[in-house]
Chains A and B, each alone.
Chain A
Amino acid sequence: MTGAIGLLLGLIIVPALLTWAGHRLRGRSAKVRGAFWGGVIGYAIAMAAFFIAAFAPPLLWGDDSLREAVVYWGLLAGSGAGSVIGSMRPRGAE
């Protein structure tokens, strides 16, 4: 159940937050811009990991496995980690 919540957050809420954060991006602080681009890059990397974990090999994944964790939590964790790293490396001078 918690895995499904993580997946829903990663599939729906994270892209919605990134879309919201992307509005009028130029007017936002360098830290927010860094967090936004970090989140986008992190999400893209997590998306690739999600598809590899979901398909390879095409067999049902087991409980408590790394594969299951990547599928359920990867999108959320990838974008979160990217945002944190991005916020520490602000984009452009204020």
Chain B
Amino acid sequence: MFHGHLWLGIISTVLVILICSTGILLNHKRGLGLMPDVPNEASGALNAALSIGELAARAEAQVGPEVAAAGIDRMDVRPGDGLIKVRFNDREVTEATVDIHSGEVLHVGARNDVFLEKLHSGEIFGSRGILLSDFAAIVLTILVITGIWLWIYPRVKHS
């Protein structure tokens, strides 16, 4: 039991540190400036907003042809804030924040937290990379159980 605990602990050290540190960074991604925080107020109703196509075109015009050529990954509408986040498929994961009523581009920047999310889940190492994350989770569970057992067993034995 002790050697199993020891071996699993040493083997999973880097993986667990990686997952823990990316988790902490993701928890504080706004404070650390890893994702843009654009304050905005809705200036009209959602049905008065510009079309999705028009908003996408405004974002593409702002980020430049190289980033726009990578294509749009997703568009995240925030009706309460009156904005839409247009995320591109480029390597830096560029995101343009556009006012849905005026079409004004409020902010353009990299979504660094996407990188951290991929690192956290293991996706960055390919489609099978999530197995690393699964492995770390299973190992951590085993370490907790064996750690408790190693602590309790001598006390139970001597009582």
For chain A, give the interface size range.
20 to 34
Contact with B along A4-17 (1 / 0, CB 8 A): 10011011100110
What CA separation (Å) do A15 and B12 show in the bound complex?
Answer: 8
Contact A11 B132 (CB under 8 A): yes
| B14 in complex: contacting residue of A1, A16, A55, A75, CB < 8 Å | A75
Chain B interface residue count, Cβ-Cβ cutoff 8 angstroms: 28
Contact A7 B21 (CB under 8 A): no
Smallest Cβ distance from B136 to chain A, in angstroms? 10
**With an 8 A cutoff between CB atoms, is B130 at the interface?**
no
Determine, out of A30-38, A57-65, A81-89, the stretch whose residues face the partner at the interface. Answer: A57-65
Smallest Cβ distance from B81 to chain A, in angstroms? 25
**With an 8 A cutoff between CB atoms, is B31 at the interface?**
no
- A60/B91 contact (C-beta < 8 A), A4-B126, A19-B6, A51-B21 known: yes
- A4/B129 contact (C-beta < 8 A), A19-B10, A54-B18, A58-B34 known: yes
**With an 8 A cutoff between CB atoms, is A47 at the interface?**
yes
Contact with B along A24-58 (1 / 0, CB 8 A): 00000000000000000000000100110011011
B residues less than 8 Å from A57 (CB atoms): 112
Closest B residue, CB atoms, query A57: B112
Closest A residue, CB atoms, query B29: A58
Smallest Cβ distance from B133 to chain A, in angstroms? 12
The dominant DSSP class at the B interface is helix
What CA separation (Å) do A52 and B81 show in the bound complex?
Answer: 36
**With an 8 A cutoff between CB atoms, is A18 at the interface?**
yes
A residues less than 8 Å from B116 (CB atoms): 58
The B124-141 residues at the A interface (CB cut-off 8 A) are: 124-126, 128-129, 132
Query: What is A's interface to B at a CB cutoff of 8 Å?
Result: 1, 4, 7-8, 10-12, 15-16, 18-19, 47, 50-51, 54-55, 57-60, 62, 75
Query: What is B's interface to A at a CB cutoff of 8 Å?
Result: 6-7, 10-11, 13-15, 17-18, 21, 25, 34, 91-93, 110, 112-113, 115-116, 118-119, 124-126, 128-129, 132
Q: List 24 A-B contacts (CB under 8 A).
A: A1-B126, A4-B126, A4-B128, A11-B15, A15-B11, A15-B13, A15-B14, A16-B7, A16-B11, A19-B10, A19-B11, A47-B14, A55-B21, A55-B25, A55-B119, A57-B112, A58-B34, A58-B115, A58-B116, A59-B93, A59-B112, A59-B115, A60-B118, A60-B124
